[in-house]
Amino acid sequence: MSRSRRKNPFCGVTKAESDKKFKQLEHRRERANVSTQVRSFNIEDEDVDIAVNDEKFGNRWSSPKDGRIRFNPDKYPKWMRK
């Protein structure tokens, strides 16, 4: 991975370490909600459509990260490394 380079000069702006924990918790909430919906249906129903509201889980505006910025790759060549 030492030779990996970014294709686009964008970098995250944050004080948070990672979104991993946030994403794990949100996906866990979503899976629990879906399994609850599945258990509430009758087995005799043939056309079962489970509606999951994507805006309800994993709201990206409530994540601990602040966003992304564009930087000058000529001025900061080390930032182009992954």
* pLDDT tens profile 18-66: 778 888 888 898 889 888 877 877 666 666 666 666 667 766 666 666 7
Q: What is the pTM of this model?
A: 0.49
Does residue 1 lie within any of the structural domains? no
- Give the domain range for residue 27: 10-80
Helix, coil or strand: residue 3: coil
Does residue 3 lie within any of the structural domains? no
Amino acid at 76: Y
Residue 40 tokens read as 């509430």
Does residue 4 lie within any of the structural domains? no
Residue 71 tokens read as 């930087």
CA–CA separation, 60 vs 67, rounded Å?
Answer: 10
Does residue 56 lie within any of the structural domains? yes
- Count of structural domains, the chain: 1
